[in-house]
Structure formats: structure tokens, C-alpha cells
């Protein structure tokens, strides 16, 4: 079996091989021999994109038609139309799957949107009150069977996104008990759908959201919630394992970055120290946090660089007392410049001037 690589990587390999061949490092025969072992991975397919967007437009049109609540047709007739269209597009999707699989699949996608429109139509018919997060749970639930049957990771992704909307929508309304089932299902799906990294990313996101909802349910103080997510982020970033470490590192880095910036707000700390010292505690935390970020930047974490900038910007907009701020920023900046210069000299002397640039 040929080695599958992305189109961009293939073109990199091929230009580099051209370069070797023109320099006489390898022969033209060797070059084509090497290129033979690669195969461009199926990326975005134009037809698939066109038909999928087509299905998306029709689906959004139907959702919008339901939301317009047009009086010309009664609710019952609308419901029958929804049932008919849902059955029709799925039948069409099934029939087309043999000869026109891409168009067929887009009909199945359309079906999931029509199903969603049906849920909101029923909500409208009976004037369901409240914010109706259950709608997204039911929508997600209805998409799952087809996603698993067709092993379609994009349908699964859609189901997962709908579930996330349900989790977020339940905030402040009531505890989303379905999370106890939904979170395991998201990981089961990752395992079942050929270990798609995309699905793992969203499964992790679902878990984090659910943990957040649990902390809301038990009325955990803001400080502890943020500290918890800061720690989870550090663990996701730092603990070494075999399961898609890249995904965990990126998510962990963003998570502890965001919660770290939030923890630099003095107001959060008032539940553990008295009001006068909150500012001091938050600044001590900010210094430790920025030091940690610098250590990670040294290891090559670009995301940490972004959070250093966010933290600086957060302090820049914090106060309008310009004179103390000006002093703080100039002293801080000079310290960093000095450290940088010192380290550059130290590395140069230890490596005997090996660092040319």
C-alpha cells in the first residue's frame, strides 16, 4: 500500500526531489521511484463541497421557512410536509448511494436538517416555553443513528456540535443530565470512526463543557472553577501519552492560557484573601504565569507567546493611571531586554560562537 500524504506535503517532497536531482544527488529514475511510494490523500473534493453546500442551503431554507411561521399552511400540514420531505430525501439518498454517492450523501445531510426543522416546528405548534435546549439534544440524538450507520465523521461532528449547543444552552436552566451519556458516546464515536482527530478534539471539548456544567450545578466559586480548568489544561499539556498528544497539547495550552489570564483578575481572589491583598495575589500569580509561559516559549510553544501578549494587553487596558503604568511597562520591558541579551551572550560563549544568527 502506498504511503498517504497531503497534497501540500507531496508537492514539498516533489520540489525537494527535483532539487536533489538537478544537483546530481539522485538520478531522475531514483526521483520517480521515490515519488512512486507516495499517494496524495483524498482532500476536499470539489463535487462533494458543491453538493454539501447545496444541501446546507436547502436545509437552512427549510429551517427558516418553519421559523417564519407562515399562516398560509396549518401546523399539521407543515408537520406532514416535514415528514414527507424527510422520508423523501432519505429515500433519494439511499437510491443515489450506489451510482452517485456524493449527491446521495448530501441528501442524507439535508435529511438531518429537515429533521431539526421538524423539532422546532413542534416547539412552535405547542408553544414550548423556556429556551428549549432539549431541541438540540433531540436533534443530536436523531443524527446519531445515521452517523454511526454510514460511519460518516462529518455527521458525527454535527451531532457532537449540536450536543455542545445543548450543554451550553442548559447553563443556568437545569443540569444537562444527558452529559453522563453524551460524553462517553463522543469518545466511543472517536474510537469507532477510525480514530478521527477532529472527533477527538470535539470529544475533549464536550468533556470540558460538561465539567464546567457540573461546577455550575454544585455552585463552585469562580476562583476554584478557573483553577480547576487551569490545572486540567496543564495536565492535558504536560502529561505524556500515546493518544494523539498534539491534540491534547494544543487544547491544554489554550485552556490553561485562557484560565490563566482570567486568574489575573483581582476580584476572583477575594474569597481566599482579604480585599486589600487581592491585587497583590493576582499580580504574583500573573508573574508566575508569565514565567511559565516564557519557559514554554523556550520549548517552542507559539500559543504561549499569544497568551503572553494577551496578559500584557490585559494589564495595558486595566487602568488609566498612565504614569505608574508607563513605569511598570518600561521597567518590565527593560528587564526582558536585559535577560535576553544576557542569555544570548551566555549561549554564545558556551557554544564557542556557534550561533551565527
Partner 1 sequence: MTKKKTFLLAVVIPLLILLAMTIKPQATVLFGQEIVLETKAYDPTDLFRGDYVAINFAISDIPKSKVDLPITKINNKNLYVSLKQEGKYYVVDQVSETKPKQGVYLKGKFRERYNQFNGAGNFRVDYSLDKYFVEQGSGKDLEQESFKGGLVGTVKALGGYGVLTGIAPR
Measured at the CA of 125, the angle between CA 120 and CA 127, to 5 degrees, comes to 90
DSSP annotation of 2 reads P
CB of 86 to partner 1, least distance (A): 7
Query: What is the helix (H) or strand (E) element at residue 222, kind and residue range?
Result: helix 222-238
CB of 127 to partner 1, least distance (A): 4
CB of 61 to partner 1, least distance (A): 13
Nearer to partner 1, 71 or 246 (CB): 71
Please tell me the distance from the alpha carbon of residue 100 to that of residue 96, in angstroms, as a whole number: 5
Cell numbers linked to 249: 497539547
Select the residue interacting with partner 1 from 62, 146, 263, 293 (CB under 8 A): 146
Task: Spell out the residues 6+ positions from residue 192 whose beta carbon is closer than 8 angstroms to its own.
Answer: 148, 151
Nearer to partner 1, 150 or 250 (CB): 150
Question: Which range touches partner 1 (CB under 8 A), out of 22-30, 37-45, 132-140, 343-351?
Answer: 132-140
Query: What is the helix (H) or strand (E) element at residue 16, kind and residue range?
Result: helix 7-22
Instruction: Examine residue 149 and tell whether it contacts partner 1 (CB under 8 A).
Output: yes
Instruction: Examine residue 70 and tell whether it contacts partner 1 (CB under 8 A).
Output: yes
Q: Which residue has the cell 560562537?
A: 353
Instruction: Examine residue 63 and tell whether it contacts partner 1 (CB under 8 A).
Output: yes
Size of the site for partner 1 (CB under 8 A): 40
Instruction: Examine residue 69 and tell whether it contacts partner 1 (CB under 8 A).
Output: yes
CB of 210 to partner 1, least distance (A): 20
Torsions phi, psi for 4 (to 5 deg): -95, 125
Torsion of the alpha carbons at 243, 246, 247 and 252, rounded to the nearest 10: 110
From the CB of residue 129, how many other CB atoms can be counted at a distance below 10 Å?
Answer: 7
Instruction: Examine residue 94 and tell whether it contacts partner 1 (CB under 8 A).
Output: yes
Instruction: Examine residue 5 and tell whether it contacts partner 1 (CB under 8 A).
Output: no
Question: Which range touches partner 1 (CB under 8 A), out of 142-150, 234-242, 254-262, 271-279?
Answer: 142-150
Instruction: Examine residue 215 and tell whether it contacts partner 1 (CB under 8 A).
Output: no
Instruction: Examine residue 115 and tell whether it contacts partner 1 (CB under 8 A).
Output: yes
Nearer to partner 1, 42 or 129 (CB): 129
HSE-up of residue 43 (Cα within 13 Å, Cβ side)? 8
Nearer to partner 1, 17 or 135 (CB): 135
Instruction: Examine residue 68 and tell whether it contacts partner 1 (CB under 8 A).
Output: yes
Instruction: Examine residue 83 and tell whether it contacts partner 1 (CB under 8 A).
Output: yes
Q: Which residue has the cell 475533549?
A: 204
Please, what's the b/e burial string for 27-62 (b: 16 or more CB within 10 A of its CB; e: otherwise)?
Answer: eeeebeebeeeeeeeeeeeeebeebbeebeebbeeb
Please tell me the distance from the alpha carbon of residue 292 to that of residue 285, in angstroms, as a whole number: 10
Question: Which range touches partner 1 (CB under 8 A), out of 29-37, 67-75, 307-315, 336-344?
Answer: 67-75
From the CB of residue 253, how many other CB atoms can be counted at a distance below 10 Å?
Answer: 23
Q: What is the binding site for partner 1 (CB under 8 A)?
A: 63, 66-71, 79, 82-83, 86-87, 90, 94, 111-112, 115-116, 118-120, 122-130, 132, 135, 138, 141-143, 145-146, 149-150
Amino acid at each position: 500500500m502506498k504511503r498517504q500524504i497531503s497534497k501540500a506535503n507531496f508537492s514539498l517532497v516533489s520540489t525537494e526531489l527535483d532539487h536533489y536531482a538537478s544537483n546530481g544527488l539522485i538520478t531522475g529514475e531514483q526521483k520517480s521511484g521515490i515519488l512512486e511510494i507516495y499517494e496524495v490523500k483524498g482532500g476536499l473534493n470539489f463535487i462533494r463541497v458543491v453538493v454539501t453546500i447545496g444541501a446546507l442551503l436547502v436545509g437552512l431554507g427549510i429551517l427558516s421557512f418553519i421559523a417564519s411561521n407562515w399562516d398560509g399552511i396549518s401546523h399539521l400540514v407543515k408537520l406532514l410536509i416535514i415528514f414527507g420531505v424527510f422520508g423523501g430525501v432519505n429515500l433519494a439518498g439511499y437510491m443515489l448511494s450506489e451510482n452517485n454517492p456524493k449527491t446521495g450523501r448530501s441528501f442524507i445531510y439535508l435529511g438531518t436538517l429537515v429533521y431539526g426543522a421538524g423539532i422546532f416546528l413542534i416547539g412552535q405548534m405547542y408553544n414550548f416555553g423556556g429556551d428549549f435546549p432539549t431541541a438540540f439534544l433531540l436533534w443530536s440524538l436523531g443524527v446519531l443513528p445515521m452517523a454511526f450507520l454510514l460511519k460518516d465523521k462529518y455527521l458525527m461532528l454535527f451531532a457532537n456540535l449540536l450536543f455542545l449547543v445543548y450543554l451550553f444552552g442548559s447553563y443556568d436552566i437545569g443540569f444537562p443530565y444527558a452529559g453522563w451519556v453524551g460524553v462517553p458516546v463522543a469518545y466511543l464515536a472517536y474510537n469507532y470512526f477510525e480514530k478521527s482527530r477532529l472527533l477527538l478534539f470535539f470529544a475533549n471539548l464536550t468533556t470540558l463543557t460538561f465539567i464546567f456544567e457540573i461546577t455550575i450545578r454544585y455552585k463552585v466559586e469562580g476562583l476554584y472553577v478557573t483553577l480547576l480548568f487551569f490545572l486540567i489544561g496543564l495536565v492535558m499539556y504536560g502529561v505524556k501519552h500515546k493518544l494523539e498528544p498534539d491534540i491534547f497539547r494544543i487544547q491544554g495550552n489554550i485552556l490553561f492560557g485562557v484560565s490563566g489570564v482570567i486568574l489575573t483578575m483581582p476580584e476572583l481572589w477575594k474569597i481566599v484573601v482579604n480585599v486589600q491583598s487581592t491585587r497583590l495575589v493576582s499580580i504574583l500569580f500573573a508573574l508566575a504565569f508569565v514565567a511559565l509561559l516564557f519557559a514554554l516559549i523556550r520549548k517552542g510553544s507559539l500559543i504561549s507567546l499569544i497568551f503572553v501578549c494577551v496578559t500584557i494587553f490585559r494589564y495595558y487596558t486595566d487602568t488609566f493611571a498612565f504614569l505608574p503604568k508607563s513605569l511598570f511597562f518600561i521597567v518590565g520591558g527593560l528587564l526582558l531586554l536585559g535577560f535576553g541579551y544576557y542569555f544570548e551572550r551566555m549561549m554564545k560563549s558556551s557554544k564557542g560562537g556557534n550561533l551565527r544568527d
